[in-house]
Chains A and B, each alone.
Chain A
């Protein structure tokens, strides 16, 4: 069955370290998204991609970067982790070929920055 996976599911790191969160989907979806979810803020868009080699900044992109070298993967990198980046991170994908174009979410990664 097609799916979207994230790894690791839990990560503890220290301030200043570089961290990469993986997202992999097997739906052959064109569009991929990274969100963070914090109490009182709901889901906020960090970066998104509409296809290979395409990346765009979202609402809260400072301190994060992404790259899209193939259809299946959109890794999220925190260049120098900060305590304010402690959050739950969700990856999502959508086909980009349907009117509804529903986004489907991965299981999430809980990141703690000490």
Chain B
């Protein structure tokens, strides 16, 4: 089975930087995704890591360490619209399939 852990809630101030951590235990690891989900809406793709290191995309960056089973999503210059849930998902190759397994999500609240 999969075990994916991330904090339930976080609060940060507008303009600041926040780091959302995700730890995982899985067999057949084949990539890690971060999605953003605003309340009442669909998850939308943010980032993908399959190799160790940092991937930067504008204000958002994602880091992966496969040996530690650890990833983080870094959000810089926080804006009010960044208030949302952030979902960590591990893709694992098991029994002939290559599917995503999601953590329970981290609800981020950005305050003025």
Contacts and interface: CB of A to CB of B under 8 A. Distances in A.
Q: Assign chain A's interface to a size class.
A: 20 to 34
A102 interface: yes
A43 B99 contact: no
A102 B48 contact: yes
B98 interface: yes
A23 B43 CA distance: 16
Interface stretch (A64-72, A73-81, A105-113): A105-113
Q: Assign chain B's interface to a size class.
A: 20 to 34
Contacts of A100: 31, 48
Given A43-B87, A107-B41, A107-B42, A48 B99 contact: yes
B44 A58 contact: no
B95 to A, nearest CB: 9
A41 interface: yes
16 contacts: A33-B99, A35-B102, A43-B89, A43-B100, A43-B102, A50-B97, A56-B97, A90-B43, A99-B50, A100-B31, A102-B33, A102-B45, A103-B45, A105-B44, A106-B42, A108-B41
Interface of B: 31, 33, 41-45, 48, 50, 87, 89, 91, 97-105
